[in-house]
């Protein structure tokens, strides 16, 4: 198997960039780099990349699809970034409707902007639509957080299918870990298209935690944080999770449970009985910096989120992953995360009991598997190199 280079200059971090460096909107004339994002996780992970590109005097335009309009804009605001272009907000749509609308609108945006490179992140409808639109316009694509795989097309749904499909269009894959890079090599991606950068969630985490604010309301202590939103868990799995948490509330009378809402609202619908419990509090979505403070002061977490697996390793907190499979095995290997299939009710109850009574610990001395906080710098360096190479000026179809 071919080896994959890791771009390694880590002398400084985008987390030291002054907040003013990201202020916008700014002129989009002569755009070098268009950064397309739509959700809060995309905004959090791409904000350090935007700042790092602008520090290197690349003309960088932020395009917001408004997949999660309020949450994404709030997250960008934590870094002093205002979108330069925003697509019209929309209500809840079917997946195909969302993807089709984004593809049509982003094609128009890219036609007018004519950027030399498009940067996307992750596995969302915004990322897939942006990548297809850029491919059609023969614009090189840089994919941040490339190579994550569960190898089960329905888990998570539809994200696993989106990221596998998206990989076929990408010019430069910025893999967060060696495992992610290996996945891409096994899929036939040439090694020269892959670089191991780390995950910019670590950059964003370090930037934000230092500036985090306390929540506006007093929280009961001690507490466990609960988040749940995955489509594949909708229905019986969410109901099983809510019932298992309700049972777990009886194990420790001193322990409180903070259940955080999500725009899709599916878990809240399944957890009505749980949310009536005296020691369970429903929490609306919080600004990212406030949410990090809440996470940092929690005793443990329960979630089906992908990003929280990375943040658990940053904060060194025990996390029970309520998913049948995870694309972030590194979080399990260092010991801070454990996974359980929420459809296996006995296993779920046993895992929650362990979390509440005997929380597991990872290795506090272990290196964070998701990086050292310098991912954005490495990504920006590679983007700058791509801009100055012949490959940034020839059609993607001919770049191999």
Chain segment 200-231, per-residue pLDDT in tens: 999 999 999 888 888 888 999 999 999 988 77
Structure tokens of 316?
């060194």
Can you give the pLDDT at residue 196? Answer: 98
| Residue 1 domain flag | no
| Residue 9 domain flag | no
pLDDT: which is higher, 234 or 342: 342
Q: What are phi and psi of 75, to 5 degrees?
A: -65, -40
Look at the block and give the residue holding tokens 């060194």.
316
Give residue 234's pLDDT band: very low, low, confident or very high (50, 70, 90).
confident
Q: Cα 82–84–88 angle (5° rounding)?
A: 100
Can you give the pLDDT at residue 24? Answer: 47
| Residue 207 domain flag | no
Do 334 and 391 belong to one domain?
no
| Residue 388 domain flag | yes
How many structural domains are present in the chain? 2
Strands (E), 230-332: 256-260, 280-283, 300-303, 319-322
Average pLDDT over residues 311-338: 95
Do 155 and 236 belong to one domain?
no
Structure tokens of 213?
């604010």
Give residue 90's pLDDT band: very low, low, confident or very high (50, 70, 90).
confident
d(CA 380, CA 49): 7
Do 53 and 182 belong to one domain?
yes
- 211-239: b or e for each residue (b if 16 or more CB lie within 10 Å)? ebeeeeeebeeebbbbbbbbebbbeebbb
- Measured over the CA atoms of residue 257, residue 262, residue 267 and residue 271, the dihedral's sign is positive
Look at the block and give the residue holding tokens 């989120």.
305
d(CA 44, CA 86): 17
Do 265 and 191 belong to one domain?
no
SS3 390: helix
Q: Which of 74, 84, 75, 78 is nearest to 54 (CA)?
A: 84
Do 229 and 327 belong to one domain?
yes
Do 19 and 152 belong to one domain?
yes
Across 14-18, 212-216, 324-328, least confident range: 14-18
- Sheet with 280-283, edge to edge strand ranges: 280-283, 256-260, 223-227, 300-303, 319-322, 337-340
Structure tokens of 347?
């296993």
Taking phi over 0 as left and psi of -120 to 50 as alpha, with beta for the rest, 145 belongs to: left
| Residue 366 domain flag | no
| Residue 169 domain flag | yes
Do 141 and 165 belong to one domain?
yes
Do 170 and 231 belong to one domain?
no
Residue 173, domain extent? 14-199+371-398
Average pLDDT over residues 174-193: 97
Q: Which residues are catalytic?
A: 123, 145, 159, 229, 231, 262
d(CA 169, CA 138): 10
Half-sphere exposure of residue 281: CA atoms within 13 angstroms, side-chain side: 15
Do 378 and 353 belong to one domain?
no
Average pLDDT along the chain: 88
The three state secondary structure string of 58-73 is CCEEEEECCCCHHHHH
SS3 64: strand
Do 349 and 379 belong to one domain?
no
Do 336 and 376 belong to one domain?
no
Average pLDDT over residues 302-327: 94
| Residue 337 domain flag | yes
Can you give the pLDDT at residue 10? Answer: 38
Do 193 and 292 belong to one domain?
no
Q: How many angstroms from the chain centroid is the CA of residue 9?
A: 24
| Residue 23 domain flag | yes
Structure tokens of 6?
């890791």
- Sheet with 33-37, edge to edge strand ranges: 85-86, 60-64, 33-37, 117-121, 141-144, 172-175, 194-196
Q: Which helix (H) or strand (E) holds 156?
A: none
Half-sphere exposure of residue 222: CA atoms within 13 angstroms, side-chain side: 13
Instruction: Note the pTM of the prediction, 2 decimals.
Output: 0.88
What CATH number does residue 377 fall under? 3.40.50.2000
């Amino acid at each position: 198997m071919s080896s994959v280079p890791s771009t390694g200059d880590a002398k400084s971090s985008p987390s030291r960039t002054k907040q003013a460096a990201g202020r916008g909107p700014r002129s989009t004339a002569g755009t070098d780099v268009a950064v397309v994002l739509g959700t809060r996780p995309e905004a959090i992970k791409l904000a350090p990349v935007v700042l790092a590109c602008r520090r290197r005097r690349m003309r960088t335009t932020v395009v917001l699809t408004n997949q999660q309009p309020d949450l994404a804009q709030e997250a960008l605001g934590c870094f002093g970034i205002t979108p330069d272009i925003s697509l019209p907000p929309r209500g809840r749509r079917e997946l195909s409707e969302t993807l089709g609308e984004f593809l049509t609108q982003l094609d128009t945006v890219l036609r007018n902007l004519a950027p030399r490179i498009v940067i996307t992140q992750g596995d969302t409808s915004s990322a897939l639509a942006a990548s297809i639109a850029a491919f059609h316009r023969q614009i090189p694509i840089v994919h941040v957080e490339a190579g994550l795989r569960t190898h089960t097309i329905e888990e998570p749904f539809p994200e696993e299918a989106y990221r596998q499909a998206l990989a076929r269009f990408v010019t430069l894959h910025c893999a967060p870990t060696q495992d992610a890079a290996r996945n891409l090599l096994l899929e036939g991606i040439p090694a020269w298209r892959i670089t191991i950068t780390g995950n910019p969630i670590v950059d964003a985490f370090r930037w934000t935690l230092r500036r985090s604010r306390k929540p506006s309301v007093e929280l009961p202590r001690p507490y466990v944080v609960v988040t749940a939103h995955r489509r594949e868990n909708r229905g019986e799995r969410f109901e099983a999770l809510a019932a298992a948490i309700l049972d777990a509330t009886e194990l420790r009378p001193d322990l409180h449970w903070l259940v955080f809402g999500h725009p899709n609202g599916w878990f809240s619908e399944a957890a009505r009985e749980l949310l009536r419990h005296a020691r369970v509090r429903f929490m609306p979505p919080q600004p990212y910096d406030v949410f990090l403070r809440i996470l940092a002061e929690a005793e443990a977490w329960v979630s089906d989120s992908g990003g929280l697996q990375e943040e658990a390793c940053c904060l060194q907190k025990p996390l029970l992953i309520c998913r049948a499979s995870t694309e972030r095995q590194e979080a399990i290997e260092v010991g801070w995360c454990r996974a359980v299939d929420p459809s296996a009710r006995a296993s779920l109850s046993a895992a929650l009991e362990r979390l509440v009574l005997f929380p597991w610990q990872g290795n506090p001395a272990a290196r964070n598997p998701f990086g050292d906080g310098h991912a954005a710098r490495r990504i920006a360096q590679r983007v700058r190199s791509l801009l100055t190479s012949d490959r940034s000026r020839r059609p993607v179809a001919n770049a191999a």
